Amino acid sequence: MYELKTDASFDSAHFLADYHGKCENLHGHRWRVEVTIGVDDSNLGTTGTERDMVQDFGAFKRTVRDMVAEFDHMFLVEEGTLAPATIAALEGEGFQLKLLPFRTTAENLARHLFERLRDEGLPVSAVEVDETPNNRAIYRA
């Protein structure tokens, strides 16, 4: 098996509803995302630019960075965890919220990115999300 890895980072705020501890309060992270793609020995590219490659690194990096950029400098909010009036007030002040249909844990962000990158056609084998330099969640199919 051949694998490629690339990484990208984004800064965003979030909080965890139903969490009893520091993470229930609004706070921020520099999230680091590491994506691994891979193919079997017999599935390297056969022609053109991608001959003997899993994928062109430039295209791989661009796909990952473009997706991660959607999350940069956003307030990540799990749907249903803020009152509609709160959301309206924040948006009224010009803050950008990204409403997500899941709890904004590193685990769920890893799975979300995995599924979206796979849907874009990448042969994803793992997505790793660091919430801090010491804490990493990994999602594999």
Residues belonging to the active site: 23, 73, 131
d(CA 13, CA 11): 7
Q: How many residues bind Zn ion (CB under 5 A)?
A: 1
Interface with Zn ion by CB under 5 A: which range of 21-29, 60-68, 81-89, 117-125?
21-29
> Locate tokens 């890895």: which residue?
5
User: How far is residue 93 from each of residues 8, 43, 111, 135, measured CA to CA in Å?
Assistant: 29, 51, 31, 33
Q: Which is nearer to Zn ion, 23 or 90 (CB)?
A: 23
Contact call for residues 92 and 104 (beta carbons, < 8 A):
no
Q: Which is nearer to Zn ion, 82 or 122 (CB)?
A: 82
CB of 29 to Zn ion, least distance (A): 5
Binding region for Zn ion (CB under 5 A): 23
